[in-house]
Amino acid sequence: MAQHPHPVDIKVHQRSRFLDIAFDDGSLFSLPCEYLRVYSPSAETRGHSPATAKLERGKERVTITKIEPVGQYAIKIHFDDGHNSGLYDWVYLYNLGKHHNELWQAYLEKLKAVGYQRQDPDLIPPDGDA
């Protein structure tokens, strides 16, 4: 079995609502909190099959309030909307980073298909934002 990348640094930018995650293969991803929330790996969000997955709406301004390590393989993210179920393991986080553009576009297309108009927040780049 091939070794999967592991995080070497995780930082939340409260003001800009981004999570930066650096992996030991040199990859660095800046992921919006909204993106992490709508792609939560919880059964509440993902359902037990693609047919039962929940389309999250109204998460444009969600932020992370707390991150808890889970062993040596995952983190549990607490969001300010009360959601805190689902474990973000390293492989899942890496794939969210690697496939951010495609996954984000798929999410936007699903919102459009149901007639939801996103309220675009004023996202601030994470540089210098602690």
Q: What is the CATH number of the domain that holds 33?
A: 3.30.2020.30
> Which has the minimum average pLDDT: 4-18, 66-80, 89-103, 108-122?
108-122
Length of the chain (residues): 130
53 phi and psi angles, rounded to 5 deg? -65, 145
pLDDT in tens, 8-65: 999 999 999 999 999 999 999 999 999 999 999 998 888 777 778 889 999 999 999 9
Cβ contacts of 72 within 8 Å, gap of 6 or more: none
**Could you give the number of structural domains in the chain?**
1
Residue 18 lies in a domain: yes
Residue 61 has what pLDDT?
A: 94
Q: What is the pTM of this model?
A: 0.88
Residue 1 lies in a domain: no
User: By residue range, what is the domain housing residue 95?
Assistant: 7-113
32 phi and psi angles, rounded to 5 deg? -65, 145
Residue 71 lies in a domain: yes
Residue 76 lies in a domain: yes
Average pLDDT, the chain: 90
CA atoms within 13 A on the CB side of 56: 23
Question: Is the dihedral angle over the CA atoms 34, 37, 39, 44 positive or is it negative?
Answer: negative
Residue 26 lies in a domain: yes
Residue 125 lies in a domain: no
Question: Is the dihedral angle over the CA atoms 102, 108, 111, 112 positive or is it negative?
Answer: negative
78 phi and psi angles, rounded to 5 deg? -100, 125
